[in-house]
Structure 1
Amino acid sequence: MNILALDLGTSSVRGLVLDADADPLPGALARRRVHLSVTEDGAGTLDAAAYLAGLTECLDELAAAGHLRDVRLVAVCAQWHSVLPLDRAGDPLGPVLTWLDTRPAPATGATGPADPEDFHGRTGAWWHRCYWSVRLPWLRDRTTGVTRFAGLVEYILGQLLDSAPMSVSMASGTGLLDLRRLDWDAEAAALAGVRPGELPELAPMDWHGRLRSAHARRWPQLAEADWAAPVGDGAASNVGSGCVDPRRAAVTVGTSAAVRLIQRVPAATALPPLPASLWRYRVDHEYVVTGAAYSSGGNLFAWANRELRLPEGADLDAALARLSPDGLLSVNPRLGGDRPPGLTPAGSGELRGLSFSSTGVDILAGLMTGLCRMVADDLAVLESGVDSPVEVVLGGGAVTASAWWRTAFAAALAPRPVRHRAEREIGATGAALVALGRVPDADRLGGTGRTEEDPLPTSTAGSGTSARPDAPSTR
């Protein structure tokens, strides 16, 4: 049996085929770039129809190459927090708001939860522009004819499958789910102003879907395949990194970045205490993931590479290696603003300590190191809820592409052991392991057995392959 894993990211949509142990098959990968529209007013949107077209092209490419033979299971990981309004026919009434969109704000005079601390503990979220409790009223005020709301993955799968309920993992990213009861939270739904039928149906445990007949004719190799409930991309990345218990935290850097830790907390079980500055979502009905996320990641390099005339390849490696750790610029890397619970708007990045001798490489290194320090601070908070310091596994396309950045993370996170998972498709791999019900095996199948030690963090200098951390998103 083979597994088709789909990764519905922010910068690209990808499909790859894995074997029964979630190992990628050589050459069985199709990818399409997607256009993320980012504007100065804080918008970060995607076109749903264009996104669906990109996914179908990936499936066509894999089918034409014969890679979809023997696929019996389809696993999906997808970006959390996205939302789009739909009309009665299920067609989009506007673009998809992604996690990067900072425009939504509470209406004038609106009030938040009666007990913010209790609300945060129940939902793992805050009354914040990233979540549907603020996003839905904001969208409704600007859209006519709204019948219901969906996330990007629910819209996409709704076009392909016989049914597309929302998984508890994706629902937890809306900020409207009671993480213990695994049902919509009444107070959160009231804050969102939702009416009956406007929220997606929640998928029961062990739900599976099938392709609609028209699509089964287009991709007959998938006609009998079961589609598993989608997994939030951050949770999937932890599983794919082998970080599935409190001994090991994942630091993932793709387009954006996050630090996260997984604990086994089955439905109806009391939730562990949640630090005030951290969020918590669901991996599935059995596990929760707790952590912090950042709007900056590989997009820092993409911006610097576009604007600062950086050297390329080995020349960039050499320039980074020559930098003194004591001479790095002081940089606030919040170019895209803050993720929850922060409210810093997009355009809040800062540079300090510039001189006439400062170079584009200095600025790049400051940006990359600034993110390392933010992660280190939040990891210390994350560790406060577990028994002992954790091991760290670095993953995601951005840190895989930059040996210097991995060494900078090792320095910032010392004295914790820091390992690197070199495989880029950790999100898709993790989603497959969740779909197989093999989360406990992930530390063996996808974790320490496939990680490698980076150089000791004696400095933030390093050498290695070309430092081009503008790789596919793996939040």
Structure 2
Amino acid sequence: MKILALDLGTSSVRGLVLDADARPLPGALARRRVVLTAQDDGTGTLDAGNYLACLTECLDELSQQGRLGGVELVAISAQWHSVLPLGPDEEPLGPVLTWLDTRPEPPATQAGPADPDAYHQRTGTWWHRCYWSARLPWLRAQIGSPPARFVGLVEYVLGRLLTDAPMSVSQASGTGLLNLRTLDWDAEACALADVRGTDLPELAPPGWYGRLGAESARRWPDLARARWAAPVGDGAASNVGSGCVDHTRVAVTVGTSSAVRLLQRMPAGAELPPLPQRLWRYRVDHDHVVTGAAYSSGGNLFAWADRTLRLPSGEALDAALAALPPHGGRPANVGFGGDRPPGRRRAGSGELRGLGFGTSAVEMLAGLMRGVCEQVVDDLAALESTVGQPVEVILGGGAMAASRWWRRTFATVLAPRTVCFGRYPEIGATGAALVACGRIADAAMMADIGRTDDQPSPTTA
């Protein structure tokens, strides 16, 4: 058996073909960059039609190369929190709001949850602009035509390819409208969002699998009989791909953004343990949850610095960073993209301080990169408080694979904890594949974990 793993991210769409053990097959990777519209007013949007085109181009490329033969299962890692209003004809009424968009705010005339702590414990979220409880009323006020319903980006693109595309409990938990214990839409959250059941996607039951529609099956005949597993939120998939699947290991992932997360087994219907006020909690599937914190700054901060500060590249940049003394960077506030929940800072809150005419671009970059490391510390301590012991930290994601200096800095900032490095960068895709195969428990054994100064494994490109 072969597995097709799709990673539907914020900055790119990727398709990888894996073997039955979720190991990547050499050369079986297709990737398309997507255009994210990000502005200082808080805009963070994607074009749904262009995004669907990127996905179909990846599938076309793999098909033309003969890579899809023998694929029996399709696994999907997809970004959390996105929302797209659809009209009666199922066409988008505007762009996709991504997690990066900080414009929505709860209506000033509306009261929030009756008991904010109970709401947080039930949904794992807050009444915050990142979640549909605040986003849907804001969207209604922005668009000219009343929406027929709302979907996430992954439900939109799969709805164009499959016979049906219900929302997985993992994706639903990222909306902030799901009761994490009962796995039904939360009545109070839906009231805040002013939605009824028909306004929201159908929820996928346990064991759901999708199939390609007739037109898609003609286009990709090798996938005509493949089962499509319910999508997994990208953060949850990354934890599994990093081998962080119990209370002893926490994943610190840096891709476009960054996050710190702990995965635990908590079946549907079971009473959930208390959730610290500063942390969120989402579903991985019907049997597992992931608890943690996320930040708007990560690899996107490096990308901004790279195009703005005229940095050296490749080995020259590595050498320049390595030559800096400890704490050699400039003080920085990394709120360029604003805060993820529960924070409230808007986009455009970033700062660099202590600059002089002798300050180098590399010193500014080092301050920004260290700032990304330091934002994790307090939330990591809050996660450790939930398990009553120190944890091992596994660094992962594309940005971690690209920078040995950044990995070493994380190890310094998070000391005295043991900090290791997941060398394979495609952790989201492989994690989604292991979830789809029901092999979450095997992930710790299968992860490629080494020292922070190790070179990453070669990519499948």
TM above 0.5, one fold?
A: yes
SS in 2 for 1:22: coil
For each residue in 1:295-350, what CA deviation from the matched residue of structure 2 results, as whole angstroms up to 9, or x when unmatched? 00001111111111111122111111111114332111111000000000111111
- For 1:326 and 1:24, how far apart are their aligned partners in 2? 38
The amino acid of 1:359's aligned partner reads S
Equivalences for 1:146-161 in 2 at 5 Å?
146-161=147-162
Equivalences for 1:21-36 in 2 at 5 Å?
21-36=21-36
Q: Equivalent residue for 2:104?
A: 104
Q: Equivalent residue for 2:126?
A: 126
Q: How far 1:145 moved relative to its partner?
A: 2.8
Report if aligned partners of 1:317, 1:464 keep a CA contact under 8 Å in 2.
Answer: no
Equivalences for 1:208-287 in 2 at 5 Å?
208-287=209-288
Equivalences for 1:315-326 in 2 at 5 Å?
315-326=316-327
Q: How far 1:355 moved relative to its partner?
A: 2.1
Structure 1 unaligned regions, length at least 5: 456-462, 466-470
Q: How far 1:384 moved relative to its partner?
A: 0.7
Report if aligned partners of 2:328, 2:366 keep a CA contact under 8 Å in 1.
Answer: no
The amino acid of 1:37's aligned partner reads T
Q: Equivalent residue for 2:194?
A: 193
Between the aligned residues of both structures, percent identity stands at: 68
The amino acid of 2:85's aligned partner reads P
Structure 1 window deviating more from structure 2 (246-255 vs 350-359): it is 350-359
- For 1:15 and 1:148, how far apart are their aligned partners in 2? 29
The amino acid of 2:416's aligned partner reads P
SS in 1 for 2:22: coil
Structure 1 window deviating more from structure 2 (326-335 vs 181-190): it is 326-335
Q: Equivalent residue for 2:413?
A: 412
Q: How many residues align?
A: 456
Report if aligned partners of 2:329, 2:365 keep a CA contact under 8 Å in 1.
Answer: no
The amino acid of 1:36's aligned partner reads L
Q: Equivalent residue for 1:468?
A: none
Q: How far 1:464 moved relative to its partner?
A: 7.4
For each residue in 1:395-447, what CA deviation from the matched residue of structure 2 results, as whole angstroms up to 9, or x when unmatched? 000011000000000001111111111211100000000000001111112x2
1:83 and 2:83 are equivalent in the alignment: yes
Q: Equivalent residue for 1:393?
A: 394
Runs of 4+ in 1 over 2 A off after TM superposition: none
Report if aligned partners of 1:402, 1:464 keep a CA contact under 8 Å in 2.
Answer: no
The amino acid of 2:126's aligned partner reads W
Report if aligned partners of 2:84, 2:151 keep a CA contact under 8 Å in 1.
Answer: yes
- For 1:196 and 1:348, how far apart are their aligned partners in 2? 37
- For 1:295 and 1:121, how far apart are their aligned partners in 2? 23
Q: How far 1:272 moved relative to its partner?
A: 1.2
For each residue in 1:361-383, what CA deviation from the matched residue of structure 2 results, as whole angstroms up to 9, or x when unmatched? 00100000011011122111111
Q: Equivalent residue for 2:347?
A: 346
- For 1:27 and 1:328, how far apart are their aligned partners in 2? 38
Q: Equivalent residue for 1:68?
A: 68
Q: Equivalent residue for 1:459?
A: none
Q: Equivalent residue for 1:454?
A: 452
SS in 1 for 2:263: strand
Q: Equivalent residue for 1:436?
A: 437
1:135 and 2:135 are equivalent in the alignment: yes
Report if aligned partners of 1:404, 1:464 keep a CA contact under 8 Å in 2.
Answer: no
Q: How far 1:67 moved relative to its partner?
A: 0.4
Report if aligned partners of 2:41, 2:348 keep a CA contact under 8 Å in 1.
Answer: no
Q: How far 1:353 moved relative to its partner?
A: 1.6
TM-score w.r.t. structure 2 length? 0.97
Q: How far 1:234 moved relative to its partner?
A: 0.2
Structure 2 unaligned regions, length at least 5: none
- For 2:413 and 2:41, how far apart are their aligned partners in 1? 33
Q: How far 1:196 moved relative to its partner?
A: 3.7
Q: How far 1:387 moved relative to its partner?
A: 2.6
Q: How far 1:17 moved relative to its partner?
A: 0.4
Q: Equivalent residue for 1:16?
A: 16
Q: How far 1:134 moved relative to its partner?
A: 0.2
SS in 1 for 2:107: coil
- For 1:211 and 1:360, how far apart are their aligned partners in 2? 50
Q: How far 1:40 moved relative to its partner?
A: 2.2
